[in-house]
Amino acid sequence: MNSTLVRELFSLIDALPIVDIHTHVDWRTGTAKNIGEVLSYHYYTELTNSADFQEVKLPYTDPKALTKAILPKLSLISNTVQYDWLMTISREFLSLDPADWQPENWEAIYDHSAAIMDRAEWCSELIDQCNLVRVFLTNQYDETFDGMDTSFYTPCLRTEPFVIYMDQPAERERMAAYLGREVRRPADVVAAIDKTFERFLDAGMGYAAMSIPVNWRTFAVSDEDAQRLLDKTVAGTAWDAQDCEAWGAYSMCLLADACRKYKKPFHLMIGVNRGVYAQGVPGGTDLFDAVNSMRGYDYLLNTYPDVRFPTAVLSDTTGGELTAAAWIRHNVYPSGHWWYSNHPTEIARDIRRRIDAVPACKLIGYFSDAYYLEFILPKFRMFKFELAVALAERMERSLIHPNMETFAFDDALVLAEDMLINNPLRIVGLDEDY
Amino acid sequence: MNSTLVRELFSLIDALPIVDIHTHVDWRTGTAKNIGEVLSYHYYTELTNSADFQEVKLPYTDPKALTKAILPKLSLISNTVQYDWLMTISREFLSLDPADWQPENWEAIYDHSAAIMDRAEWCSELIDQCNLVRVFLTNQYDETFDGMDTSFYTPCLRTEPFVIYMDQPAERERMAAYLGREVRRPADVVAAIDKTFERFLDAGMGYAAMSIPVNWRTFAVSDEDAQRLLDKTVAGTAWDAQDCEAWGAYSMCLLADACRKYKKPFHLMIGVNRGVYAQGVPGGTDLFDAVNSMRGYDYLLNTYPDVRFPTAVLSDTTGGELTAAAWIRHNVYPSGHWWYSNHPTEIARDIRRRIDAVPACKLIGYFSDAYYLEFILPKFRMFKFELAVALAERMERSLIHPNMETFAFDDALVLAEDMLINNPLRIVGLDEDY
Amino acid sequence: MNSTLVRELFSLIDALPIVDIHTHVDWRTGTAKNIGEVLSYHYYTELTNSADFQEVKLPYTDPKALTKAILPKLSLISNTVQYDWLMTISREFLSLDPADWQPENWEAIYDHSAAIMDRAEWCSELIDQCNLVRVFLTNQYDETFDGMDTSFYTPCLRTEPFVIYMDQPAERERMAAYLGREVRRPADVVAAIDKTFERFLDAGMGYAAMSIPVNWRTFAVSDEDAQRLLDKTVAGTAWDAQDCEAWGAYSMCLLADACRKYKKPFHLMIGVNRGVYAQGVPGGTDLFDAVNSMRGYDYLLNTYPDVRFPTAVLSDTTGGELTAAAWIRHNVYPSGHWWYSNHPTEIARDIRRRIDAVPACKLIGYFSDAYYLEFILPKFRMFKFELAVALAERMERSLIHPNMETFAFDDALVLAEDMLINNPLRIVGLDEDY
């Protein structure tokens, strides 16, 4: 590693404004109110649960008590990148040195954090400090956006209720209340989706998104078969695995139809196993499966050539397949580094192979997946550092590589800006300057 | 990266003559006639299709029009290794600087290229310039080799017609015409294979080869079952998936029988999904599957201990399995870096783990898979650079590694020459000097 | 690579005493008696078999003849890490320079080795020279430990007989002889397990362990179903695949029950395909499958939250899944780098991602899997070198990384000692100083 070059590249890449195309931020609040809320992010509860398991549940809903409970355990996870994010938050936003994070300081840290973060100005101060220019959200179909700052936030539709939860009576009732009539026919689902897209478009919609179970399959399902499935679940008969698969394939196409109609992308997040760890903390019970393929998406991707599919994958074993899919499929865009693949070792590999083989204009560099705006900066810095290392290597290689033209400092910066800002905005269809 | 050492190693490795054990070169022409033919290579059509999709088909069969159509899109793929290959062709063979590749220059580039490449002497000039000493081909069973320069070209049999297409009436008719009698019995297939091997041997045959679908299985199938399958397809009844699998396993053994009988290797190319991308360009519709294992080859590899199986894999997820198979199985030889795994990131990893764990005498370093002789040099240079980086690292490690003896500059060169020339020739059975 | 820093780090890490939590050492002898026994380790027989296959079987049971047979072939595998281990043995223990390993010297090498190794003092000399402080074993349930030095050796129970071989009459007879009554009911199996754990505990038991086939599944099986399976096999009816799977899941829980009852860990070694290479040497016929997932362990891991599961995986494709499992599951501990993943390329990747994402206190750095004590030093050095490289990188990154606090030389040494000594001893429950 050429430290001097990496540092120079990083500092310029770090100076770019941040466009974050996928978060779970709550636009009503944006930031956390204190360090206890920061620590409630599942990474900290799950890692301390993993390092030092206790039968007694952590006080998840009491930020102050949670701070007291977790702080003594943080030293157990000080090697992790997640701890590094926390220390960046501490230094950059709270002016607290990592050495201050001693168990006996828990209350002082909490109070200090609240003094800074629990102020009306905090959110806008943080946005300025981090140079955040646009943040995409994760929203339920029945969420309303009154009062949301659409010049900063972009709502994105979470589609699982239409696809995965349709056999749950409570979900259908919620949807009926939303739609203003019972959900009995595929046309009712289409109407609910249309209503949703139209409402979201009014608020500056980004895209539809779905976090998808492993080995998902898409294929043609007729309206008649879909009607039969709805009838069955409405009648109270549980769907079997085949029914779930058929409805999943059918409803995913309904959503792709809407993406086509309203010219919005469909962001695929591939390969999660939900709720597999019985002793997990809230948000910390999911894993993935190394045995997972994008093969099941052939039908969807082929049937909707006019829909853009930014795609993130959870397993390192799908990274090569995503690279190849984005290499030849015009409507697949590799998007960021998701969750269990969101750490330096996996990021480093995937950055390199994507730049090797996928047209640069298709690369969506990164998204933070953050729950509070505070996490965006440290997560982007983690990515930007790996990107700087990869670009520095590329510069050095180009000087002696028999097949490469010069890849100069400015070329590296152009590529970084494309991956981090221009591509995400263009691919998602927000043709705006920042 | 020790740039000085890498450069020194590379320059000596680059000076080696080139033996290319797998290409799709047409021996009647060898080289392209103009840059439009070069650009017709599916990498360029598929990457520009991927970067800038258009409903209108590219003029694939009109090299000049294709040049005009693709050239404006090349800037979109300038980050890819495939673009690097093209620029090497431009600099090395056409004396055109990459900066000259502006859309408005398309006709001048085309004309200039034709003036150089569309000459009778071009092919031999290129062969000399690149120091190509032997190029293996991909040939159909009914291809004839009259006039082929067997001192330079080595024919290799593509076996899919016997294995995968046997249920297609047109393929059986073609085979009947070739054999001089109807193909009705397993013995007829054997006769066609024997005739083919004998004809190929007369032309200096290299090996039999097959590009094999994902999750292929080999197992014992009786002649009676094979006869039943032939009867069924001849009678016009379509084979189901099980039939296809059984015939595949059976006929693959017929080919292995011939490899045994004629003492020729069987080159396996594992893990392709054909025709999965509906909007793809010709040659750009195939992908692979991350879920793929070599387990299905156990029967074949165990049953033919006296047949050599050079083996290439398409998915990065099979790379570890291939390394382990070559480590213990005496008749498996890891061969090159194929297609979607043929870029620096995957090559770098596979080079290192193969050198870690597989006896060096079994390593077939690289093949180009080229469609025109022009691509051999840039592709080999890509590999040779990664090899030089890996060998330089090994040299540096050996100086301080507690378990390694000195791995000196000359050791690195010996290993490179073995991987690139001596092993491929010996494993394939061409015991010749170059 | 910062060679100076790596060398400094390595020399201090290398000076640590060695705790080796998994070997196949025979405590009655410990060391080999001559170089022929060293060469009988399957790595040498399998690699030379792979590099230079011969129909005639090697003289496996005659160390001197084996030395003569294998020595001329060693040059064929001189690139491998396994050869590097051998040369370390040669230099460090036999004071033989690698250059001495010429085929014509075979007898001199053999005699020289026997003169050193076939002495009563050799084992304790070697232990001192390598600074071995504790070595875990692999033991059969009916093995006795009279005379074993429990201050140095820790017995570990190999559980396959209870899980995989229960349908073999010979295994049931052996177990009946051990138990003193027929094995007819699940309670008999429990009794045999209890007797075993109690005997092993008397000898300072480490843990139960199992080398587990690919795509193993765990799930609830009733005692009644287990009784039915026992009845079936006792009656002489072969188990089908489903029966084997059910007994496997059932009996694995019996063993986990015992681990819970006796407060001992259950070491999982995941993903082997046994006996797949027909021409293999003894111990060299097994491979793995790239298509393998830890998904099948959900039931076991969830049902026994109070049992620790150190876990090793065979395929590189399971490495990411193991990292994620250890990241969130409190009772999964990534353990070493097993067999086909036990070479520098895979180790390097797995070290980095584990340190990125798994709490450091959960990392079991390495085990040797050695058959003779002589192999422990070279194997640990291989790992320690990769660890030193990774730690040196981490130090250099921390100096310029925007998210990392200083990771200093002393921090690196603390992490290394935790991974190599403190964690393994604590996780396995041996709370001892060394």
pLDDT band (50, 70, 90) for residue A430: confident
% pLDDT > 90, chain B: 97
Query: Across the strands, what pairs with B266?
Result: B208
Topology of domain C1-33+122-154+335-434, per CATH? TIM Barrel (3.20.20)
For residue B293, the chain C residues in CB contact (below 8 A) are 289-291
For residue C359, the chain A residues in CB contact (below 8 A) are 47, 50-51, 76-77, 79-80
For residue A325, the chain B residues in CB contact (below 8 A) are 287
Say what the pLDDT of residue A56 is: 85
Say what the pLDDT of residue C433 is: 64
Topology of domain A125-428, per CATH? TIM Barrel (3.20.20)
Whose structure tokens read 């090994």?
B394
Token readout for C47 is: 């690699």
Residue to mutate among A292, A327, A407, with most B CBs inside 10 A, is A327
Query: Can you list the alpha helix ranges (DSSP code H) found in B283-408?
Result: 298-303, 319-328, 344-357, 376-400
Say what the pLDDT of residue C1 is: 87
**Count of CB contacts below 8 A, B vs C?**
133
Tens digit of each residue's pLDDT (9 = 90 or more) over C232-250: 999 999 999 999 999 999 9
Q: Which CATH number is correct for C156-334, 3.40.50.720, 3.40.1280.10, 3.20.20.140, 3.50.50.60?
A: 3.20.20.140
The answer to whether the Cβ–Cβ distance between C305 and A278 falls below 8 Å is yes
Strands B157-158 and B208-213: parallel
For residue B328, the chain C residues in CB contact (below 8 A) are 46-47, 49-50, 277, 280, 284-285, 287
Quote the minimal CA–CA distance from C215 to chain A in Å.
10
For residue C318, the chain A residues in CB contact (below 8 A) are 290
Nearest by CB to B76, which of A328, A353, A359?
A359
- Smallest CA–CA distance from C76 into chain B, residue: B359
From the list C67, C45, C71, the residue with the least C-alpha distance to C57 is C45
CATH class of this structure's domain C34-117? mainly alpha
Q: How far apart are alpha carbons B276 and A356 in whole angstroms?
A: 22
Average pLDDT over residues C305-313: 98
Q: How far apart are alpha carbons C416 and C16 in whole angstroms?
A: 9
Sign of CA dihedral C389, B412, C78, C124: negative
The answer to whether the Cβ–Cβ distance between A290 and C404 falls below 8 Å is no
Tens digit of each residue's pLDDT (9 = 90 or more) over B85-143: 999 999 999 999 999 999 999 999 999 999 999 999 999 999 999 999 999 999 999 99
Q: What is the pTM of this model?
A: 0.97
Indicate if the pLDDT at residue C37 is higher than 70.
Answer: yes
Nearest by CB to A288, which of C317, C324, C399?
C324
% pLDDT > 90, chain C: 97
Segments of C160-305 assigned E as strands:
208-213, 266-273, 287-288
Say what the pLDDT of residue B429 is: 84
Average pLDDT over residues C361-374: 98
Quote the minimal CA–CA distance from A16 to chain C in Å.
15
Query: Can you list the alpha helix ranges (DSSP code H) found in A166-240?
Result: 169-179, 186-202, 223-234
For residue A328, the chain B residues in CB contact (below 8 A) are 46-47, 49-50, 277, 280, 284-285, 287
Quote the minimal CA–CA distance from C5 to chain B in Å.
11
Tens digit of each residue's pLDDT (9 = 90 or more) over A58-117: 999 999 999 999 999 999 999 999 999 999 999 999 999 999 999 999 999 999 999 999
Indicate if the pLDDT at residue B434 is higher than 70.
Answer: no
- Smallest CA–CA distance from A214 into chain C, residue: C295
From the list C39, C147, A353, A25, the residue with the least C-alpha distance to B349 is A353
The answer to whether the Cβ–Cβ distance between A402 and B88 falls below 8 Å is yes
Average pLDDT over residues A271-283: 96
Tens digit of each residue's pLDDT (9 = 90 or more) over A126-151: 999 999 999 999 999 999 999 999 99
Pinpoint the residues of chain B covered by CATH 3.20.20.140.
156-193+203-334
From the list B269, B271, B258, B336, the residue with the least C-alpha distance to B304 is B258
Please check whether residue B148 is in contact with residue B27, taking contact to mean a CB–CB distance below 8 angstroms: yes
Residues 6+ apart with CB under 8 A from A326: A311, A332, A333, A334, A354, A358, A362, B50
For residue C401, the chain A residues in CB contact (below 8 A) are 84, 385
Indicate if the pLDDT at residue A431 is higher than 90.
Answer: no
pLDDT band (50, 70, 90) for residue C55: confident
The answer to whether the Cβ–Cβ distance between C400 and A291 falls below 8 Å is no
| CA angle centred on C177, ends C174 and C178, rounded to 5° | 85
What does each C-alpha distance from A309 to A259, B85, C79, C137 come to in angstroms? 10, 29, 45, 52
Q: Which CATH number is correct for B156-193+203-334, 3.20.20.140, 3.50.40.10, 3.10.105.10, 1.10.3720.10?
A: 3.20.20.140
First to last CA, chain B: 32
Say what the pLDDT of residue B55 is: 84
The answer to whether the Cβ–Cβ distance between C292 and A290 falls below 8 Å is yes
For residue B298, the chain C residues in CB contact (below 8 A) are 276-277
Residue to mutate among B218, B327, B387, B391, with most C CBs inside 10 A, is B327
Indicate if the pLDDT at residue C383 is higher than 80.
Answer: yes
ipTM: 0.96
Token readout for C59 is: 């003289």
Q: Which chains touch C (3 or more CB pairs under 8 A)?
A: A, B
Average pLDDT over residues C337-363: 97
Q: Which chains touch B (3 or more CB pairs under 8 A)?
A: A, C
- Smallest CA–CA distance from C301 into chain A, residue: A277
Task: Indicate the average pLDDT of chain A.
Answer: 97
- Smallest CA–CA distance from C285 into chain B, residue: B328
The answer to whether the Cβ–Cβ distance between A357 and B81 falls below 8 Å is yes
Torsion of CA A292, A294, A296, A299, to 10 degrees: 180
Q: How far apart are alpha carbons B256 and B267 in whole angstroms?
A: 10
What does each C-alpha distance from B130 to B19, B39, B138, C381 come to in angstroms? 11, 20, 21, 43
Task: Indicate the average pLDDT of chain B.
Answer: 97
The answer to whether the Cβ–Cβ distance between C289 and B292 falls below 8 Å is no
Query: Can you list the alpha helix ranges (DSSP code H) found in B263-330?
Result: 298-303, 319-328
Task: Indicate the average pLDDT of chain C.
Answer: 97
Residue A180 falls in which region: left (phi positive, over 0), alpha (psi -120 to 50) or beta: left
Indicate if the pLDDT at residue C432 is higher than 90.
Answer: no
Range in B256-265, C251-260, C425-434 with the lowest mean pLDDT = C425-434
Strands A309-313 and A332-334: parallel
Quote the minimal CA–CA distance from B266 to chain C in Å.
17
Say what the pLDDT of residue C405 is: 87
Q: How far apart are alpha carbons A29 and A31 in whole angstroms?
A: 6
Average pLDDT over residues B190-204: 98
Nearest by CB to B325, which of C82, C278, C287?
C287
Whose structure tokens read 């959503």?
A255
What does each C-alpha distance from B145 to A241, B156, B193, B204, B431 come to in angstroms? 56, 11, 17, 10, 22
Q: How far apart are alpha carbons C161 and C172 in whole angstroms?
A: 9
Residues 6+ apart with CB under 8 A from C158: C138, C139, C140, C141, C209, C210, C211
Pinpoint the residues of chain A covered by CATH 3.20.20.140.
125-428
The answer to whether the Cβ–Cβ distance between B292 and C291 falls below 8 Å is yes
Pinpoint the residues of chain C covered by CATH 1.10.2020.10.
34-117
Say what the pLDDT of residue B117 is: 98
Quote the minimal CA–CA distance from C422 to chain B in Å.
24
First to last CA, chain A: 32
Please check whether residue B210 is in contact with residue B159, taking contact to mean a CB–CB distance below 8 angstroms: yes
Tens digit of each residue's pLDDT (9 = 90 or more) over B300-345: 999 999 999 999 999 999 999 999 999 999 999 999 999 999 999 9
Strands A287-288 and A266-273: antiparallel
Quote the minimal CA–CA distance from B366 to chain C in Å.
18
Token readout for C192 is: 């045999």
Say what the pLDDT of residue B433 is: 64
Query: Across the strands, what pairs with B157?
Result: B139, B208
pLDDT band (50, 70, 90) for residue A434: low
Pinpoint the residues of chain C covered by CATH 3.20.20.140.
1-33+122-154+335-434, 156-334
Tens digit of each residue's pLDDT (9 = 90 or more) over C93-142: 999 999 999 999 999 999 999 999 999 999 999 999 999 999 999 999 99
The answer to whether the Cβ–Cβ distance between B341 and A320 falls below 8 Å is yes
- Smallest CA–CA distance from A8 into chain C, residue: C400
For residue B278, the chain A residues in CB contact (below 8 A) are 302, 305
